[in-house]
């Protein structure tokens, strides 16, 4: 009888050792591996978001093994209605006018100013123009007031447009955004660019499986992340117009880096 108890105790100890070995192995893998196929955020680097580390896994005694997957931003096709026939020889100066909101909303001015500043910052980050001043003008965006003001400021081009769709789903819903960017030549008043772009940041429920859970993580500010992603793509597109030689050089460098990556793949 005592021998059977001893054998049972040995088996229990062995099971615990196997469990803890598996636990330490999972924690070790989480420190150096990522979950393949996770989406990448266009813009969000706050500490609240990256802790615990995105795209990785950890272990919790109450919930077990957890994999973290970033929410994906889905951007639509860029639709260009008006575009110039030739590129510029050097980056011009421009004035950014707050965009007007097409849909009805109680926070019309707040949304217009908030979205416009995010798009403006996207252009600043890309260095699309030599200088790009932000103009604090009244809403809605009207060309008859914006062009004379841009000429008064000495800007070569006027950048503005319309917010066609704005739906902030927050952390527990889908966020949708669509805009039309317009660029005018100040001296002639001619419309040089008219571009439509949009994006969606959908909310997905967490996946609960028998052996593990998949936690879908939204950005700290989903709507700002989505607007920044749309604005960044437009800033890059216009950068090919204002500084084509630099953008072509960036393309060649990206191709070289990609080729090196295929020759010397990373272990993680």
Q: What mean pLDDT value characterizes the chain?
A: 77
pLDDT at 178: 97
d(CA 261, CA 240): 25
Predicted pLDDT of residue 59:
64
Report the chain's C-alpha Rg in angstroms.
26
For residue 101, the surrounding DSSP H or E stretch is strand 100-101
Quote the DSSP letter at residue 196: E
pLDDT tens-digit series, residues 46-60: 333 333 444 566 666
**Residue 117 burial (C-beta neighbours within 10 Å; 0-12, 13-18, 19+):** middle
pTM of the model: 0.72
Q: What percent of the chain has pLDDT over 90?
A: 45
Q: What is the DSSP letter of 168?
A: -
pLDDT at 75 over 90: yes
The tens digit of pLDDT for each residue in 191-202 reads 999 999 999 998
Strands 100-101 and 157-167: parallel
* Residue 203 pLDDT class (50, 70, 90 cuts): confident
User: What distance separates the 2 farthest-apart alpha carbons in the chain?
Assistant: 101
pLDDT exceeds 50 at position 138 = yes
- Helix, strand, coil percent content, the chain, rounded in steps of 5: 40, 25, 35
Instruction: Examine the pLDDT at 211 and tell me if it is beyond 70.
Output: no
Does 27 score more than 50 pLDDT? no
């Amino acid at each position: 009888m005592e021998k059977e108890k001893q054998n049972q105790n040995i088996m229990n100890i062995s099971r615990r050792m196997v469990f803890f070995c598996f636990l330490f192995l999972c924690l070790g893998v989480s420190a150096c591996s990522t979950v393949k196929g996770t989406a990448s955020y266009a813009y969000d680097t706050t500490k609240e978001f990256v802790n615990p580390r995105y795209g990785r896994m950890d272990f919790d005694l109450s919930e077990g093994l957890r994999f973290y997957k970033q929410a994906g931003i889905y951007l639509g096709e860029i639709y260009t209605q008006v575009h110039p026939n030739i590129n510029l020889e050097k980056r011009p100066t421009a004035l950014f006018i707050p965009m007007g909101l097409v849909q009805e909303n109680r926070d019309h001015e707040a949304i217009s100013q908030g979205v416009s500043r995010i798009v403006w910052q996207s252009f600043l980050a890309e260095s699309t123009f030599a200088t790009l001043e932000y103009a604090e003008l009244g809403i809605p965006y009207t060309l008859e007031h914006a062009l004379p003001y841009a000429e008064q400021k000495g800007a070569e081009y006027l950048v503005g447009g319309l917010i066609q769709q704005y739906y902030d789903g927050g952390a527990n819903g889908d966020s949708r955004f669509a805009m039309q960017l317009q660029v005018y030549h100040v001296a002639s008043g001619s419309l040089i660019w008219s571009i439509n772009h949009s994006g969606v940041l959908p909310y997905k429920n967490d996946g609960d499986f028998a052996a593990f859970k998949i936690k879908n993580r939204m950005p700290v500010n989903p709507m700002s992340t989505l607007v920044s992603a749309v604005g960044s793509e437009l800033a890059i597109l216009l950068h090919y117009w204002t500084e084509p030689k630099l953008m072509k050089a960036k393309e060649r460098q990206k191709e070289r880096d990609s080729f090196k990556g295929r020759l010397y793949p990373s272990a993680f």
